[in-house]
Amino acid sequence: MKIKVKWALLTMIFTIATVLTGCEPLLVLDPKGPQAKTQADDIMLSILLMSGIVIVVLAILVFVLIKYRASNQKDDYEPPHIEGSALVEAICIGIPVVIVIFLSFVSVKSNYEVEATPAAYEDTEPLIVYASTSNWKWHFSYPEEDIETVNYLYIPAGRAIEFKLYSYGPITSFWIPQLGGQKYAMADMVTTLHLAADNPGEFMGRNANFSGAGFAKNTFEVTAMSQADFDEWVEEVHETATPLTEDKFEELLEPGHLGRSTYTGTHLEFSPAPEHNHGSTESEVDHSEHENHDSNHSDEESDHAHH
């Protein structure tokens, strides 16, 4: 019987080891950008801290079991009557409080870092990309470059990227694990996400929020390249891609899965993003208000001239 148990344990250990050797490293622990690096460091800090707590508790448990086991006491031993210990209670309450305070400080500090433009790229002009989603595809609009892609994203490495997220359907979650954490995209507001890729490479992106039957394939490919290669790609798109019309965009919004596609122009011209922006800086809001004011002023002048 013992031999069977031994072989069963060895078989289980061998199977687990074999399966684990075939696993790829966790993408969240393989960061390729400053935001993802901050989050990966927080995850590892939490794992190490929790592992240390477990090891200490298990060590204390083993010590108590060995030192105070029944067979290690005299036959006439009687446990002392103890009503309470201020020291033990202070330790049991104080240590968890200190741990929670420490993790809270780290979390709040990291949250402010990942919600802002990456520190190393504050002096660079960010590339603005409107990332919208529909069942079950991703639409990436480059307003400055006047192009739009579906289900794939090209970005320059070594430059801050400012994503404007919203949805043409249910709530989704924009997530590129190796570049940063996820953030929700909703139908009635725009959320802002700051990311950056330190070096050229290819990454996986997806919708991390369940949004119906096609959720599993609601993914996109991300390619980071040099600024020169990115500029060359933009020129190539303008030379080869077809314009994005309103009818074509309405067709793209129909539920279903699509491959990659590229267009000149963006849907922002005839189907703009929601006006309510969450997470925008004051300068962005002021700029938006200034544009709206100029637009309204131009409309007033046009009506006046018409009359």
| pLDDT one-digit tens code per residue, 104-163 | 999 999 999 999 999 889 888 999 999 999 999 999 999 999 999 999 999 999 999 999
* Alpha carbon distance 252, 250 (integer Å): 5
pLDDT band at 286 (very low <50, low <70, confident <90, very high): very low
| pLDDT tier, 219 (very low <50, low <70, confident <90, very high otherwise) | very high
Predicted pLDDT at 284:
46
Spatial CA neighbour of 150 closest among 164, 163, 159, 137: 137
With a cut of 90, say whether residue 57 has pLDDT above it.
yes
pLDDT of residue 95: 92
What is the reported pLDDT for 82?
76
> Per this entry, what is the length of the chain?
307
pLDDT at 203 exceeding the cut of 90: yes
| 48-87 burial: b if 16+ Cβ within 10 Å, else e | eeeeeeeeeeeeeeeeeeeeeeeeeeeeeeeeeeeeeeee
pLDDT grade for 270, boundaries at 50, 70 and 90:
very high
Contact, 285 vs 199, CB < 8 A?
Answer: no
As its CATH architecture, domain 124-279 has: Sandwich (2.60)
For residue 288, pLDDT over 80 is answered with no
Structure confidence at residue 290 (pLDDT): 39
pLDDT at position 306 is 42
Residue % of the chain over a pLDDT of 90:
65
- Report residue 5's pLDDT band, with 50, 70 and 90 as the boundaries: low
Residue 96: the pLDDT is 93
What's the rounded mean pLDDT across residues 46-66? 93
User: At a CB cut-off of 8 Å and minimum separation 6, what does 254 contact?
Assistant: none
Strands 147-150 and 137-142: antiparallel
Q: Tell me what pLDDT residue 9 has.
A: 62
Note the pLDDT of residue 298. 43
User: Which string of DSSP letters, residue by residue, matches 30-48?
Assistant: S--SHHHHHHHHHHHHHHH
Categorize the per-residue pLDDT at 259 as very low, low, confident or very high, splitting at 50, 70 and 90: very high
Q: How confident is the prediction for the chain on average, in pLDDT?
A: 85
Q: Across residues 22-32, what is the average pLDDT? A: 78
* Strand order across the beta sheet in which 152-156 lies: 152-156, 219-225, 201-207, 172-175, 183-185
Q: How high is the pLDDT of residue 79?
A: 76
* β-strand partners of 160: 196
Q: Where are the domains of the chain?
A: 34-72+85-114, 124-279
| Predicted pLDDT of residue 8 | 65
